[in-house]
């Protein structure tokens, strides 16, 4: 055993060392730990002075473009790796790499593969950040195909970009969203990815013979073959559990927390999901730091909270510095508001969110261009069928949101959430409206819950209720009686198809074998709820007329 351990120590990292020795320094390597993560698009409006409709170029933008007012910024994230130090590395005569540097390039798909057509970006991959780096390409034309490559160098010096060798780099296809959102959009979402570590590094994984995210990939490919593109993959909290097996084995340092991310990102399913290059949007809940985390941090958990926040910022914050707050809006073919119910949660002051987030949410809901469209609001925990701990801490703020929807007569609002380790859907209506005389159009709110990708502990199915009474907090009374779906207890993910023209939401819940568990069509205009045949699932079915 002693002799074998010596051999392992000698040759640990030999392959990466050998590669560093024989590969020229200008080769762009693929990311070793995980594929690049497509961090989505940010819509920007530009006004070009003196444009006559011809080709224009701005020094501030990456791509030459035809005169459009709408542009997109494309964000992407990657992680490099240095060779590990070993007894063998100490015997090497060549200089060991000491840093990683990221490179990415993009061109119009129709353009020739010549250097002048590629826009090349260099980006830092700091050792302190575990060699994670981000870059963004600005000024991209709507509804346009681009070719994209990304990788890194184990660099000890500067290399001119014209001499970079991209032969090992995979080419990804990037299709920017349309200038204006279309009538139909679709996304896959879920929450609670409870994978962790037991003592001595033993992996905890409830595989049940299949990987959930490989099934997500199969669904994405399946839907595309039927003409339905996936606009986003959305994770609504607990993407990583720092305390999957309890507090006694919890990750409490930044290094340990990064190992939990590595555990998740290096699984075959997660790698395959990132390889689809579908835009990934995420929001944290509590387990990215510690169970039931809030802004009121015990002194014993200050360092742990800071480490969890830093790890989240590196891996999950959608557009890094371009997302200055944790809450944000998705603004491409899928439009939605993603709420942050953790970093502003203060139970002692009865606050779930800040005044700034509340104002931003109201502005987003009441925007004139959104008046006749479905309005998705994403939140980490349930609001209506069960008040998760943020709303339990502040029923007054939940009441404020629901009162605002009613007072402003904001139709077609839909809540998407997770957290409760089971799945359910409901169509809610204000009780006082049901008692009023018929005259105005009824106001419905959909609530769709999808949890969990992987779970261990018991679900909260027994706590979910089809009635909600907030009158004691100055809020409304709502009911989903008769429009309360069966409960999904299996691990699952949810495919959502929104049809803005029909004011409908199709909800398809699938298990880890990509089998449809339940399929329901909700009409936010008529209040109709239609159970659809799971055996006849077609990817683009929401384009058909609703009940």
Residue 539 has pLDDT above 50, yes or no: no
Nearest 10 degrees: CA dihedral of 37, 42, 47, 52?
50
Structure tokens at 153: 């160098």
Q: Do 303 and 423 reside in the same domain of the chain? A: yes
Give the other-Cβ count within 10 Å of 467's Cβ: 14
Q: Do 303 and 430 reside in the same domain of the chain? A: yes
How far from 483 is each of 382, 402, 437, 493, 529, CA to CA, in Å? Answer: 17, 19, 21, 21, 7
Q: Do 154 and 228 reside in the same domain of the chain? A: no
Going across the sheet that includes 119-125, the strands are 119-125, 99-108, 145-155, 172-175
pLDDT at 85: 63
Q: Provide the domain count of the chain.
A: 2
Nearest 10 degrees: CA dihedral of 4, 6, 7, 13?
130
Give the other-Cβ count within 10 Å of 145's Cβ: 12
Measure the CA–CA gap between 502 and 486, rounded to whole angstroms. 24
Q: Do 209 and 133 reside in the same domain of the chain? A: no
127 burial level (CB within 10 Å; 0-12, 13-18, 19+)? exposed
Per DSSP, the three-state class of 301 is helix
pLDDT band at 131 (very low <50, low <70, confident <90, very high): very high
Q: Which domain holds residue 407?
A: 184-543
- Mean pLDDT for 505-523 is 96
pLDDT at 22: 43
In this structure, the strands spanning 280-283 and 232-236 are parallel
The domain that contains 268 carries what CATH number?
3.60.21.70
- Mean pLDDT for 389-399 is 96
Residue of 117, 115, 120 whose CA lies nearest to 104: 120
Per DSSP, the three-state class of 215 is helix
Range in 46-55, 173-182, 332-341, 381-390 the model is least confident about: 46-55
Q: Do 33 and 166 reside in the same domain of the chain? A: yes
DSSP string, 484-544: BPPPB-S--EEEEEEETTTTEEEEEEE-TTS-EEEEEEEETTT--EEEPPGGG--TTGGGS
Q: Do 41 and 72 reside in the same domain of the chain? A: yes
**Which residue, of 175, 209, 233, is where some domain finishes?**
175
Measure the CA–CA gap between 274 and 207, rounded to whole angstroms. 19
pLDDT at 246: 73
Measure the CA–CA gap between 383 and 45, rounded to whole angstroms. 34
Q: How far, in whole angstroms, is CA 76 from its chain's centroid?
A: 13
Measure the CA–CA gap between 184 and 188, rounded to whole angstroms. 14
pLDDT at 64: 52
Residue 253 has pLDDT above 90, yes or no: yes
Measure the CA–CA gap between 228 and 419, rounded to whole angstroms. 28
pLDDT at 232: 96
Measure the CA–CA gap between 421 and 319, rounded to whole angstroms. 28
Q: Do 139 and 215 reside in the same domain of the chain? A: no
**Which residue, of 150, 175, 200, is where some domain finishes?**
175
Range in 83-92, 282-291, 292-301 the model is least confident about: 83-92
Residues 6+ positions from 367 with CB-CB distance below 8 Å:
none
**Which residue, of 175, 199, 231, is where some domain finishes?**
175
Measure the CA–CA gap between 444 and 164, rounded to whole angstroms. 56
pLDDT at 52: 46
The CA-to-CA distance between both ends of the chain, in Å, stands at 70
Structure tokens at 348: 């002692």
The domain that contains 64 carries what CATH number?
2.60.40.10
Q: Do 211 and 162 reside in the same domain of the chain? A: no
pLDDT band at 77 (very low <50, low <70, confident <90, very high): very high
Q: Do 374 and 514 reside in the same domain of the chain? A: yes
Q: Do 171 and 242 reside in the same domain of the chain? A: no
Q: Do 358 and 248 reside in the same domain of the chain? A: yes
Q: Do 221 and 171 reside in the same domain of the chain? A: no
Residue of 521, 428, 508, 419 whose CA lies nearest to 469: 428
Structure tokens at 232: 């986003």
Going across the sheet that includes 375-381, the strands are 328-331, 335-338, 375-381, 413-418, 444-449, 424-430, 477-479, 467-469
Residues 6+ positions from 437 with CB-CB distance below 8 Å:
none
Cβ contact 269:213 at 8 Å: yes
Partners of 417 in beta bridges: 449
For the chain, give the mean pLDDT: 86
ω into 452 cis (within 30 of 0):
yes
pLDDT at 200: 53
7-21, 209-223, 375-389, range with greatest mean pLDDT? 375-389
How far from 526 is each of 443, 446, 530, CA to CA, in Å? Answer: 9, 12, 11
Dump pLDDT digits (tens) for 428-482.
Answer: 999 986 655 555 789 999 999 999 998 766 689 999 999 999 999 999 999 999 9
pLDDT at 2: 55
> H helices of 202-323, where?
212-225, 254-265, 268-275, 302-315
Dump pLDDT digits (tens) for 145-184.
Answer: 999 999 999 875 667 788 899 999 999 999 999 999 999 9
Residue 509 has pLDDT above 60, yes or no: yes
Cβ contact 55:96 at 8 Å: no
- Mean pLDDT for 282-292 is 91
């Amino acid at each position: 055993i002693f002799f074998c351990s010596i051999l392992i120590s000698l040759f640990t990292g030999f392959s990466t060392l050998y590669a560093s020795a024989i590969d020229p320094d200008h080769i762009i390597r693929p990311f070793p730990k995980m594929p690049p993560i497509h961090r989505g698009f940010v819509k920007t409006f530009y006004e070009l002075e003196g444009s006559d409709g011809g080709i224009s170029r701005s020094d501030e933008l990456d791509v030459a473009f035809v005169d459009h007012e709408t542009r997109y910024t494309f964000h992407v994230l990657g992680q490099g790796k240095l060779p590990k130090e070993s007894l063998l590395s100490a015997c090497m005569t060549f200089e060991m790499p000491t840093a990683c540097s990221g490179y990415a390039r993009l061109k119009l798909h129709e353009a020739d593969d010549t250097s002048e057509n590629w826009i090349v970006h260099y980006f830092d991959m700091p050792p302190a950040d575990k060699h994670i780096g981000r870059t963004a390409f600005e000024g991209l034309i709507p509804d346009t195909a681009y070719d994209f490559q990304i990788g890194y160098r184990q660099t000890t010096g500067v290399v001119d970009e014209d001499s970079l060798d991209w032969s090992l780099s995979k080419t990804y296809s990037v299709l920017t969203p349309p200038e204006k959102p279309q009538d139909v959009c679709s996304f896959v979402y879920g929450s609670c990815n409870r994978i962790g570590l037991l003592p001595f590094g033993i992996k905890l994984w409830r595989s049940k013979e299949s990987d959930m995210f490989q099934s997500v990939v199969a669904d994405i490919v399946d839907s595309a073959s039927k003409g339905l593109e996936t606009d986003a993959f959305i994770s609504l909290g607990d993407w990583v559990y720092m305390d999957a097996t309890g507090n006694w084995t919890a990750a409490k340092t930044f290094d340990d927390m990064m190992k939990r991310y590595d555990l998740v990102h290096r699984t075959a399913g997660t790698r395959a999901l990132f390889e689809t290059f579908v835009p990934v949007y995420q929001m944290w809940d509590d387990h990215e730091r510690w169970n039931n985390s809030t802004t009121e941090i015990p002194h014993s958990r200050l360092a742990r909270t800071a480490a969890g926040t830093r790890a989240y910022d590196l891996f999950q914050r959608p557009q890094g510095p371009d997302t200055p707050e944790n809450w944000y809006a998705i603004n491409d073919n899928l439009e939605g508001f993603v709420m942050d119910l953790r970093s502003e949660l203060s139970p002692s002051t009865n606050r779930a969110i800040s005044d700034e987030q509340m104002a931003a949410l109201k502005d987003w809901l009441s925007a004139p261009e959104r008046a006749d469209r479905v309005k998705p609001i994403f939140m980490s925990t349930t609001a209506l069928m069960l008040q998760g701990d943020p709303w339990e801490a502040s029923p007054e703020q939940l009441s404020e949101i629901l009162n605002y929807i009613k007072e402003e007569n904001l139709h077609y609002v839909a809540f998407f959430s997770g957290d409760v380790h089971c799945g359910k859907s409901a169509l809610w209506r204000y009780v006082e409206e049901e008692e009023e005389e018929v005259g105005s159009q009824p106001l419905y709110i959909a609530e769709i819950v999808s949890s969990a990708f992987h779970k261990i502990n018991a679900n909260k199915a027994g706590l979910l209720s089809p009635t909600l009474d907030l009158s004691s907090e100055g809020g409304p009374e709502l009911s989903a009686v008769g429009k309360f779906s069966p409960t999904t207890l299996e691990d699952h993910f949810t495919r959502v198809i929104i049809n803005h023209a029909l004011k409908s939401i199709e909800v398809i819940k699938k298990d880890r074998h990509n089998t449809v568990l339940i399929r329901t069509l909700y009409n936010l205009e008529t209040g109709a709820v239609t159970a659809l045949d799971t055996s006849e699932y077609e990817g683009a079915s929401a384009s058909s007329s609703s009940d």
